[in-house]
Chain A
Amino acid sequence: MSAAVTVYVPGDASACSLGADRVARALEAEAGKRGRVVHIVRNGSRGMFWLEPLVEVVTPAGRVAYGPVAAGDVAKLLDAGLLEGGAHALRLGDIAAHPWLASQQRLTGSRLGIVDPTSLVDYVAHGGYVGLRNALAMQPVDIVRAITDSGLRGRGGAAFPTGIKWQTVHDQKAGQKYITCNADEGDSGTFADRMLMEGDPFSLIEGMTIAGIAVGATQGYIYLRIEYPHAARALARALQVARAMGHLGPDVLGSGKRFDIAVRLGAGAYICGEETSMLESLEGRRGEVRVRPPLPAIKGLFGQPTVVNNVVTLASVPVVLARGPQFYKDFGAGKSRGTIPLQLAGNVKQGGLVERAFGLTVKQLVYGYGGGSASGRPVRAVQIGGPLGAYLPESQFDTPLEYEALAARDGLLGHGGVVVFDDHVNMARMARYALEFCAVESCGKCTPCRIGSTRGVELMDRIIAGRADTVRNGAQTADLALLEELCDTMFNGSLCGLGGLTPYPVRSALKHFREDFQRVN
């Protein structure tokens, strides 16, 4: 029998939804029939979803990729010499050299799809834990300064400077502090957190450990949405390995410093991705928004100083400490420093994860990486920043993807989700959807969100019905004015970002696509 051949078949949830598990099983079975031994590694996804399941075979000449592979293709692929990197219509060659990947600037997701997510050895071999080792040789305040100097801002959506947050927690005198990771990635069309946790969980663990050492916290919690079972398994395995190897626990890497991490599963509420609701939920209570102040950095989890950071933010920390703040800061544009993993989804030909320095334009992303709409029809709009982000019309696709440039166009970058729509979209229906999303996900605490979202849906129903008599007697015009008023009330009056940001998609749809709101049906 010939030696075992290593084959990578992504275990990433999106790859699995496209049949990766079946491909892995078929590969094992078909190879067996042929007397071949395959060592299958379930890696993360490289983020080229139109090519998933993307199978990579390790050959003496390097990794050779094939995709998209269906279970039914496996037998023929093996016959074509898959295990030797043989020629086949699905053969893609060295995927890292594919312009779609080669043109990216993967700092945070540098190991995605490359390493075995269960292997600490693999992680270290690809530059892992250099950041933590550097951090352990530094004074905590210098670690915080490095983060501040790197210009890293919260990637969860609020873009608050991470260093300032850490400094606040660092400066608190308290018997116990916490690092909490917000992994309740609820925005539709986003998946960067999930891909990192599934494909490179040690980067998050390392980032949280550095945060703990920096601010003096000994316990971390990952608040993970229950809809991510693959990530839950990946994290559980990685945490177990990190503990066993002394990378977590009472004596992190022999430093005498304690840090450990526990995973807590959410129960399916979008609002728990809002940081104060997340803390309430972590404490075992109803996920409901807390009033700020006090800031979580001063009085957070269980009333103690707490860092609340998103997965991408924390997973970006190791590279800052490994390569220095200046290296990281040299990427980016304006006040948006470093890279952002953009998540391209919706009606787009080549959806997936595009990590680039801030400043890429919408056009470059949608047409360059995305290749236009999947339907082949003209792209009419994109929604940036999740279900509460603004819609941008094609005329504004020159907007650079960075925080201030989007704010200047009444939009927001949020967590970096970009959803594409072709010219079949009815933007009045999309505005209604935003309000409906808010109505379904509202925690029910503050009035503008609790009542306003449902009244908004009802109002949109009246507008969309667009009866000729309401157009004639001015009722529709009055309803549109009321909708604008409702947006003002929700924007100015809501307690948190859910009700407060819902006007973004509604107002932008009204502003750029008013004709969709004035149809007579």
Chain B
Amino acid sequence: MYAKDYHDLGTPAGKGESVTLDIDGATVTVPAGTSIMRAAALADHDIPKLCATDTLKHFGSCRVCLVEIEGRKGFPASCTTEVAAGMKVRTQSEALSKMRRGVLELYVSEHPMGSCPDSSRCELETLAEQHGIGESRFAGPKTSRHVHTHKPVDHSNPYFRFDNDLCIVCSRCVRACEETQGTYALTIDGRGLESRVAASQDETFLDSECVSCGACVEACPTGALMEKSVLVAGLPQKAVPTTCAYCGVGCALIAEVTNGAVSRMVPNRNGRANQGHACVKGRFAYGYATHADRVTKPLIRKSITDEWTEVSWEEAISYAASEFRRIQAKYGRDSIGGITSSRCTNEETFLVQKLVRAAFGTNNVDTCARVCHSPTGYGLKHTLGESAGTQEFVSVQQADVIMVIGASPTEAHPVFASQMKRRLRQGARLIVVDPRAIPLVKSAHVEADYHLRLLPGTNVAIINALAHVVVTEGLTKDDYIAERCERESYEKWKKFVADPINSPEAMGL
């Protein structure tokens, strides 16, 4: 299930020109390529749905989102039908209601009302209740729940459990594993009513290829895939937006809180960096929030040899302030400074530098990210005038060739790696420059076109060698360069890289 209070629009955003149509008498304007379902949800005319969710491509299997379109036969599915100019859509009618009740009653024959640990957050039970479905008339002695497909509950994963009996086979988990995460650990096994979600070759989740990213759990509309923490803690009482503190991707998360403690961490679907995804750490490794070792009260000590003393916030802040003042009075204004961790968000780092500059009156401020990033930062500053990344992660969706040097995104920045892998599956070419055979070099559904196994320490040399080939083989686009580079500096650089000492042959990489 997605985060508490989230308004799911059903399908991803369209990208075309504006299109205006009529939905239940309301005039709605959306980009071309938008589904009727999303257009209706944007206009607050939400259409019932079970297999659709706005992080995944439409699928069209549940058949509760059918609508009527003037001039068209039958009942098209609103998730798979795109808007068109002048279209007149009816989302409610006696015939539609009858059909939705018919489908929901079938669902309920397999997943009776009240089956889920938390019916109010089961999309099926909520929808069935809204449509006045209580007990299925199909139920009877021969149709006890999952008589065909009963499987024991899979508790193998440390963070979530899978209860097949609650599963409605909407494939949202399977599609999340494919589309969002790119691991392809899940599949549908069997056919007809015996179709069941299976991990790898019908193994337990833990034994399968699953990497515990949790995308499937968030995608699940029922209680079939649920975080164990939620099963213990119960319903969240509030949802707090936050940012993941692990790697540099900066995933936007929503912490769901039950009785004052985090009971579940869900990616924020509006997060620009993570696009509604998170990895195993961001999603499940939030135990630090309530860990016994965590410092939650202010502590001070006058000397490193003293024991820590617990004090009030007021006392701690005034003590720190007075000590900073004392040091500055004695040793000068520049005797103190501030440094932030690379795990801090940009906003937190901004606040610290503001404190240091405005209150301390010094420019002694830094972030530890500079330690590993000073060479790249320096290079970027001097070439592009900006020492930070120049692209949003999502721009990888436009890349046709991707070169990865000295990084292993699947291990170090998995949420970005998932986005990159999606692009690679669409056909982008990949060059990996790394002494190691990182997972991107060859894994299921992704393979590097070239893996340049350079010697450790020769990253710059290989870049120069690439430049050498470009320059000496006449592959430069001169007008492009002339528009952007200072002629003199460019000529100097060109002369340097053209030196045979920078040729691939000379480098012995």
- Could you tell me which A residues sit within 8 Å of B by CB distance? 269, 271, 286, 288, 291, 439-448, 450-455, 458-459, 461-462, 478, 482, 485-486, 488-489, 492-495
- Do B60 and A493 have beta carbons less than 8 Å apart? no
- Do A462 and B140 have beta carbons less than 8 Å apart? yes
- Do B60 and A291 have beta carbons less than 8 Å apart? yes
Given the complex, which residues of B lie within 8 Å of A447, measured CB to CB? 61-64, 103, 106-107
List CB contacts (< 8 Å) of B449-490 with chain A.
Answer: none
The verdict on A291 contacting B58 (CB below 8 Å), with A439-B192, A446-B63, A454-B193 known, is yes
- Do A493 and B192 have beta carbons less than 8 Å apart? no
Docked pose: A319 CA to B98 CA in angstroms: 49
CB distance from B57 to the nearest CB of A (A): 10
- Do A444 and B169 have beta carbons less than 8 Å apart? yes
Contact of B102 among A439, A441, A454, A489 (CB under 8 A): A489
- Do B138 and A446 have beta carbons less than 8 Å apart? no
Given the complex, which residues of B lie within 8 Å of A492, measured CB to CB? 66, 74-75, 95, 99
Task: Judge if B328 is at the interface, Cβ distance under 8 Å.
Answer: no
15 contacts between A and B (CB under 8 A): A439-B193, A442-B192, A446-B62, A447-B64, A447-B106, A448-B63, A450-B169, A452-B106, A453-B192, A454-B192, A458-B142, A462-B140, A482-B137, A482-B138, A493-B103
Binary per-residue interface labels of chain B (124-157) against chain A in the complex, 1 for a CB within 8 Å, 0 otherwise? 0000000000000110101100001000000000
B61, B99, B137, B143, most chain A CB atoms within 10 A = B61
Tell me how many residues of B have a C-beta within 8 Å of chain A. 37
The verdict on A446 contacting B109 (CB below 8 Å), with A462-B140, A489-B99, A492-B75 known, is no
The verdict on A493 contacting B75 (CB below 8 Å), with A448-B106, A458-B138 known, is yes
Residue of B nearest to A459 (CB): B138
Given the complex, which residues of A lie within 8 Å of B32, measured CB to CB? none
- Do A450 and B195 have beta carbons less than 8 Å apart? yes
Given the complex, which residues of A lie within 8 Å of B60, measured CB to CB? 291, 446, 495
Task: Judge if B59 is at the interface, Cβ distance under 8 Å.
Answer: yes
The verdict on A493 contacting B59 (CB below 8 Å), with A441-B192, A450-B193, A462-B140 known, is no
Task: Judge if B280 is at the interface, Cβ distance under 8 Å.
Answer: no
Docked pose: A448 CA to B98 CA in angstroms: 13
Given the complex, which residues of B lie within 8 Å of A286, measured CB to CB? 187-188
Given the complex, which residues of B lie within 8 Å of A440, measured CB to CB? 192
Task: Judge if B191 is at the interface, Cβ distance under 8 Å.
Answer: yes
- Do A455 and B80 have beta carbons less than 8 Å apart? no
Residue of B nearest to A269 (CB): B191
Residue of B nearest to A286 (CB): B188
Docked pose: A401 CA to B110 CA in angstroms: 41
The verdict on A444 contacting B137 (CB below 8 Å), with A455-B106, A489-B106, A492-B66 known, is no
Docked pose: A495 CA to B60 CA in angstroms: 8
Task: Judge if B190 is at the interface, Cβ distance under 8 Å.
Answer: yes
- Do A450 and B137 have beta carbons less than 8 Å apart? no
Given the complex, which residues of B lie within 8 Å of A288, measured CB to CB? 188
Docked pose: A488 CA to B194 CA in angstroms: 23
Docked pose: A488 CA to B80 CA in angstroms: 21
- Do A444 and B191 have beta carbons less than 8 Å apart? yes
Given the complex, which residues of A lie within 8 Å of B109, measured CB to CB? 451, 455
Given the complex, which residues of B lie within 8 Å of A493, measured CB to CB? 63, 66, 75, 99, 102-103
Residue of A nearest to B81 (CB): A293
Given the complex, which residues of A lie within 8 Å of B64, measured CB to CB? 447
Docked pose: A444 CA to B64 CA in angstroms: 16
Docked pose: A461 CA to B142 CA in angstroms: 10
Given the complex, which residues of B lie within 8 Å of A269, measured CB to CB? 191
CB distance from A283 to the nearest CB of B (A): 14
Docked pose: A439 CA to B75 CA in angstroms: 23
Given the complex, which residues of B lie within 8 Å of A495, measured CB to CB? 60-61, 63
- Could you tell me which B residues sit within 8 Å of A by CB distance? 58-64, 66, 74-75, 77, 80, 95, 98-99, 102-103, 106-107, 109-110, 137-138, 140, 142-143, 148, 169, 171, 187-188, 190-195
The verdict on A444 contacting B59 (CB below 8 Å), with A454-B148, A455-B138, A488-B102 known, is no
Docked pose: A452 CA to B75 CA in angstroms: 18
CB distance from B84 to the nearest CB of A (A): 11
Given the complex, which residues of A lie within 8 Å of B107, measured CB to CB? 447, 451
Docked pose: A447 CA to B142 CA in angstroms: 19
- Do A444 and B194 have beta carbons less than 8 Å apart? yes
Counting from the closest, the 7 A-B pairs by CB-CB distance are: A444-B195, A489-B102, A442-B192, A451-B106, A493-B63, A291-B60, A455-B138
Given the complex, which residues of B lie within 8 Å of A271, measured CB to CB? 191
Given the complex, which residues of B lie within 8 Å of A439, measured CB to CB? 192-193
Docked pose: A321 CA to B142 CA in angstroms: 57
CB distance from B127 to the nearest CB of A (A): 12
Residue of A nearest to B171 (CB): A445
B75, B110, B148, most chain A CB atoms within 10 A = B110
Given the complex, which residues of B lie within 8 Å of A451, measured CB to CB? 106-107, 109-110, 193
A443, A452, A482, most chain B CB atoms within 10 A = A452
Contact of A445 among B61, B99, B110 (CB under 8 A): B61
Docked pose: A291 CA to B102 CA in angstroms: 21
Docked pose: A442 CA to B193 CA in angstroms: 8
Docked pose: A443 CA to B142 CA in angstroms: 22
CB distance from A266 to the nearest CB of B (A): 14
- Do B98 and A488 have beta carbons less than 8 Å apart? yes
The verdict on A291 contacting B59 (CB below 8 Å), with A454-B148, A488-B102, A489-B99 known, is yes
Given the complex, which residues of A lie within 8 Å of B148, measured CB to CB? 454
Docked pose: A258 CA to B21 CA in angstroms: 46
Known A-B contacts: A442-B191, A448-B106, A493-B103. Give 7 more (CB < 8 A). Answer: A291-B80, A444-B194, A452-B106, A458-B138, A485-B102, A486-B102, A493-B99
Given the complex, which residues of B lie within 8 Å of A488, measured CB to CB? 98-99, 102
B64, B191, B194, most chain A CB atoms within 10 A = B191
CB distance from B101 to the nearest CB of A (A): 9
Residue of B nearest to A461 (CB): B142
Docked pose: A331 CA to B169 CA in angstroms: 48
CB distance from A237 to the nearest CB of B (A): 33
Given the complex, which residues of B lie within 8 Å of A462, measured CB to CB? 140
B63, B103, B148, B171, most chain A CB atoms within 10 A = B63
- Do B102 and A458 have beta carbons less than 8 Å apart? no
CB distance from A109 to the nearest CB of B (A): 34
Given the complex, which residues of B lie within 8 Å of A455, measured CB to CB? 106, 109, 138, 143
Docked pose: A445 CA to B195 CA in angstroms: 8
CB distance from A211 to the nearest CB of B (A): 28
CB distance from A482 to the nearest CB of B (A): 6
The verdict on A450 contacting B138 (CB below 8 Å), with A291-B59, A493-B99, A495-B63 known, is no
- Do A450 and B99 have beta carbons less than 8 Å apart? no
Docked pose: A488 CA to B366 CA in angstroms: 69
CB distance from A171 to the nearest CB of B (A): 20
Contact of A494 among B63, B137, B192 (CB under 8 A): B63
- Do B138 and A443 have beta carbons less than 8 Å apart? no
Docked pose: A237 CA to B297 CA in angstroms: 83
Docked pose: A452 CA to B62 CA in angstroms: 12
Docked pose: A332 CA to B258 CA in angstroms: 73
Docked pose: A448 CA to B106 CA in angstroms: 7
Given the complex, which residues of B lie within 8 Å of A486, measured CB to CB? 102
Given the complex, which residues of B lie within 8 Å of A442, measured CB to CB? 191-193
CB distance from B51 to the nearest CB of A (A): 9
Given the complex, which residues of B lie within 8 Å of A454, measured CB to CB? 148, 192-193
